[in-house]
Structure 1
Amino acid sequence: MTAPSTEKSTTVRTQLPPIPPVVRAAVGALDRIAPELVARGALRLWCTPARAERHAPIAGGTAFRAGPIVGQVWGDGPTVYLVHGWGGHRGQLRSLVDPLVAAGLRVVAYDAPSQGESGPGAFGRRRTTLPEMMSALDTVIAAQGPAHAVVGHSMGAAASALAVLDGTATERLVLVTPLADPSTYTVGFAHALGFSERTRYRFVVRMEALAGRRLADLDIPVRAANAPSVLPEALVLSDRADKEADHEDGARIARAWPNAELVLSDGLGHRRILRDEETIKRIVAFVAA
């Protein structure tokens, strides 16, 4: 067993849009007199994915529903599951569908609960958590059959990796611009909104109670380095120009994950990497090997 890695990214990130100074000042003032109120509000905002501008279905395929989850299936052969990121939808991974089908694979893409076309999950309309995204993958696999490979993007990559670490079976795993440890992102979240470290602690305690998991259990590199069983081969892709996920997150995961290959690109960012021709070829070759 490998000792847990203690390395952490020093880059403070948040997926929030820019916060006006007047809002940060108001949150800071309220934080001084009512930290519990701020912690509750912060948790609600954290668990509310931003709405994507459009979430039209991908062309073709066969529609399916598994509980509140809506998705589509294409092709025949070993099954590949596509998992979108926080506040995203299956259409963001459309560029992978045709090349994977052409490689003789069956492709399943879906919208996570409270995102895209899917209905509300356990936490109600427009609210979800990372553990619920992990469970959604298991729900879809149970409905559509065993996974040959799982391809996740951003928070969907984190959910996919954590599901595998929890026991979800797959032969291959692709993580595109993954987040390694959500606890590091709570720091950027608190800074962006302007509340204190003591309130961030309250916020994290509330988050753990809602999700039913300790944040420490969601640190992918530590979990991977100490995995009690054999993990699938992994391909990790990150971009140095990513402004939403720290590209060092991908490197940390790849160093800790046995049999992982890390590919670093320059200038593709967090989303354009999904449409990059060389990235798509690399993913298809890895999955189809």
Structure 2
Amino acid sequence: MTDITSPSPRLSQQPAAPPAPGIGALLAQAGYRLGGRLAPKLAGRIAADAFGRSRSKGGRTEFRMPLGAQTFDIAGNDDVRRGYLWKNDGPTVLLVHGWGSDSSSMIGFVKPLLALGFQVAAFDAPAHGESAGNKTTMTRFVAAVGAAIKSLGNVQVIIGHSLGSIASVAAVAKASPEHARAVQRLVLIAAPVSLSTVLERWANSHQQQLPRTVTDRIYDRLLVQNGVPVSHWDISVLGAAMDVPVLVVHDELDPVVPLTEAQRLLRSLKNVRLEQTSGLGHSRILSAAPVKELITRFVGDARLTSTKLESGND
């Protein structure tokens, strides 16, 4: 493990105190407490919808072609029908953004990857960016990543951020043997180990403070929505059999996903390396020059060749 000192000012040694809940959050907490006693199933359904919301307000982002990109079709997925492609002669690197973000958050990786000869692809996940909707599920997110892998046909590197890391590992685990074997490098940035840990932190956060009866009903509701238990979405389980080299990059004081999550990944995956940053938090880690240099070095060391798979091959 290597510490990467950020050129940005270091964060304080203790995470900042969370802001006091506003009047809306206080009213919601009171409503959930009452609902937990009188109608826990209804309260859980409302809370599950809040947990699945991918936009704080407004609708889809207006389509704007990223500089230097062209679109590519994503077949077999009703949520996401196209992505962005920066063409090159080498194998493809797929960028997968996190929950509540969009493909533009990963744009800083495009230029250095192109300089190495890679082709780079990205897309907006269901109910993110230009994709329609305001809320989604991990099942739909994973399906979109899988459809992009299948449509591109030669994805050999995947770089995921936050919940996009879970979606990436799960999509590779579910891919056809041919497409799964093609993936030679995985990079997981600020990754939670599982959706369960994310849900528990959210439910118990300063802003939510959900009663246990309501949180338990969220699990029930998400089982219906996803078709699998929340516990299914777990990198340590889905990625346990993978022997592909994995680079985990995590900030020591990430306020969204604690460093202990990265340390759990270090213990549970076969071929994994952890690089720790200081002062970059959960989102700025994507734009830090030392992080981009680290990742391009890790990917470039693979010396991958452009072995083209047939797109859509099962």
Q: Name the TM-score, length of structure 1 as normaliser.
A: 0.85
Change (3 A) 1:83 1:104: same
Stretch of structure 1 that moved more, 247-256 or 22-31: 22-31
Q: State the secondary structure of the residue aligned to 1:189.
A: helix
Note the C-alpha offset of 1:69: 3.4
Equivalent residue number for residue 27 of structure 1: 32
Equivalent residue number for residue 91 of structure 2: 78
Change (3 A) 1:261 1:80: same
How far apart, CA to CA, are the structure 2 residues paired with 1:215 and 1:195? 17
Equivalent residue number for residue 275 of structure 1: 287
Runs of 4+ in 1 over 4 A off after TM superposition: 51-57
> Counterpart amino acid of 2:52?
C
Aligned-residue RMSD, C-alpha = 2.1
> Counterpart amino acid of 1:172?
R
Aligned length: 265
Stretch of structure 1 that moved more, 41-50 or 68-77: 68-77
* 1:182-197 to 2 correspondences below 5 Å: 182-191=195-204, 192-197=207-212
Note the C-alpha offset of 1:139: 0.6
Equivalent residue number for residue 136 of structure 2: 128
Note the C-alpha offset of 1:27: 2.0
Q: State the secondary structure of the residue aligned to 1:80.
A: strand
Unaligned segments of structure 2, at least 5 residues: 1-19, 302-314
> Counterpart amino acid of 1:83?
V
Contact 1:182/1:219 (8 A) holds in 2: yes
Note the C-alpha offset of 1:25: 1.7
* 1:150-169 to 2 correspondences below 5 Å: 150-167=158-175, 169=180
**1:287 equivalenced with 2:302 (yes/no):** no
> Counterpart amino acid of 2:196?
S
Larger Rg: 2
How far apart, CA to CA, are the structure 1 residues paired with 2:187 and 2:97? 12
> Counterpart amino acid of 2:194?
D
**1:173 equivalenced with 2:186 (yes/no):** yes
Note the C-alpha offset of 1:102: 0.6
How far apart, CA to CA, are the structure 2 residues paired with 1:59 and 1:29? 50
Identity of aligned residues (%): 31
How far apart, CA to CA, are the structure 2 residues paired with 1:263 and 1:235? 7
Stretch of structure 1 that moved more, 193-202 or 70-79: 193-202
Note the C-alpha offset of 1:144: 1.4
Q: State the secondary structure of the residue aligned to 1:150.
A: strand
Note the C-alpha offset of 1:196: 1.7
How far apart, CA to CA, are the structure 2 residues paired with 1:242 and 1:57? 31
Unaligned segments of structure 1, at least 5 residues: 1-16, 120-124
Q: State the secondary structure of the residue aligned to 1:193.
A: coil
Contact 2:146/2:172 (8 A) holds in 1: no
**1:216 equivalenced with 2:263 (yes/no):** no
Equivalent residue number for residue 200 of structure 1: 215
Contact 1:69/1:113 (8 A) holds in 2: no
Note the C-alpha offset of 1:205: 1.3
How far apart, CA to CA, are the structure 2 residues paired with 1:23 and 1:50? 18
Question: Which of these residues, 93, 108, 117, is aligned with residue 95 of structure 1?
Answer: 108
Equivalent residue number for residue 44 of structure 2: 39
How far apart, CA to CA, are the structure 1 residues paired with 2:56 and 2:31? 25
> Counterpart amino acid of 1:163?
A
> Counterpart amino acid of 1:140?
A
> Counterpart amino acid of 1:38?
A
Q: Name the TM-score, length of structure 2 as normaliser.
A: 0.79
Change (3 A) 1:210 1:151: same
Contact 1:130/1:159 (8 A) holds in 2: yes
Note the C-alpha offset of 1:18: 4.8
Note the C-alpha offset of 1:52: 8.5
Q: State the secondary structure of the residue aligned to 1:41.
A: helix
